[in-house]
Amino acid sequence: MYAPSASYLRVYEPAGAFVDADYWRAYAASGRAIDPLEGPRLRREALYERIGWPWRGVPSFARDAYVIDRGREADPLICPWNLRYRIAASALEVRRLTPEAVAEALFPPEFLSSAAEVVALDDGIDRHDAPADAHEHVASWSVPLRWFACVRAEDRELVIQRGIAQLRYRTPIAKARTGLVVARNLVRSEFGEGAELAEALGETADWLEGFHRDSVVELDYGGLASRMDPEELRAEDSVDLTWQALDHLGASEPEEAQECYARLVDRWRDRRLAERLN
């Protein structure tokens, strides 16, 4: 199975931020943590193995996570998967947004009842004060433009090896929060409080507020990187282009900012269309 064509915005929190900190410290020390390059594929396989049709209940999964090992002197950083909660919450959201007749065909009543129980319990072991699925956002086919404001060019990590392509940005959460606030304020100043992009930036900033101050934010191009050739990856500068646009706004140069933004929109629209057509 190939890696899903998706990008990811993740938060890694110190193990000590969790109620069951000892479990996550032992998990990190055991070497069982899965590399983000392999994680999306393995999660999809695990899902396919456990769910039959019709669904009778929300399946159980091993408690896995992505881990950043910071050595013996510091707590490992943990980004839990918590697939059971995420499946349950997604099913209930689809049920809420779908006409009743369609929802009944998609989900047996016993499955929805099971999903409601899982969400109500919140699996209370993977988060201290926020929904259990809050550590990772996923976007299919592209990278949401607002995510680029979380990171800077110096946070870039690019790996191109035989059979491996990975592009990601990692930055302290304080830096990501500051970047989002700066971007939101600049957009609001130019386009007003109701600007769609300003609202999107604000939503991402609000999401990051729920995490520990020593967390790390990761923007991972995921499976998108494997669908870009090496030269495209080396030249990929959407983060730089985002901050060029914001700098132009700060310098009262709206036309130049609009030009940068238009290039970003066109770039990612074309990539979404190309991938869907193929």
User: Which residue, of 137, 172, 197, is where some domain finishes?
Assistant: 137
Distance (Å, whole) CA 199 – CA 189: 13
Same domain as 152, residue 123: no
Given 137, 157, 179, the domain boundary residue is 137
pLDDT tens digits for range 81-119: 888 888 888 888 888 888 888 877 778 888 888 888 888
pLDDT confidence tier of residue 1, bands split at 50, 70 and 90: very low
Answer whether residue 14 is part of any domain. yes
Residues 133 and 148 in one domain: no
- Distance between CA atoms of residues 224 and 221, nearest Å: 6
pLDDT in tens, 211-226: 999 999 999 999 999 8
Which of 151, 169, 142 minimizes the C-alpha distance to 268?
142
pTM (2 d.p.): 0.87
Look at residue 30 and tell me if it is in a domain: yes
- Adjacent-strand bridge partners of 79: 66
- In angstroms, the CA 99 to CA 117 distance is 22
Domain end, chosen from 137, 170, 189, is at: 137
Q: Are 115 and 85 in contact (CB under 8 A)?
A: no
In the chain, helix, strand, coil percent, each to 5? 55, 15, 30
Domain assignment of residue 178, given as a range: 143-213+224-277
Neighbouring-strand partners of residue 66: 79
Pair 241, 260 in one domain: yes
Q: What ranges in the chain are assigned the alpha helix state H?
A: 21-30, 39-50, 83-97, 100-106, 109-121, 173-191, 196-208, 223-226, 230-235, 238-250, 254-277
Number of domains in the chain: 2
Return the CA Rg of the chain.
20
Residue 19 counted as domain residue: yes
Helix axes 254-277, 238-250, angle to 10 degrees: 160
Please tell me whether residues 156 and 258 are part of one structural domain. yes
For β-strands 65-68 and 77-80, DSSP reports them as antiparallel
- How large a percentage of the chain has pLDDT more than 90? 51
- Taking the C-alpha atoms of residue 278 and residue 263, their distance in angstroms, rounded to an integer, is 23
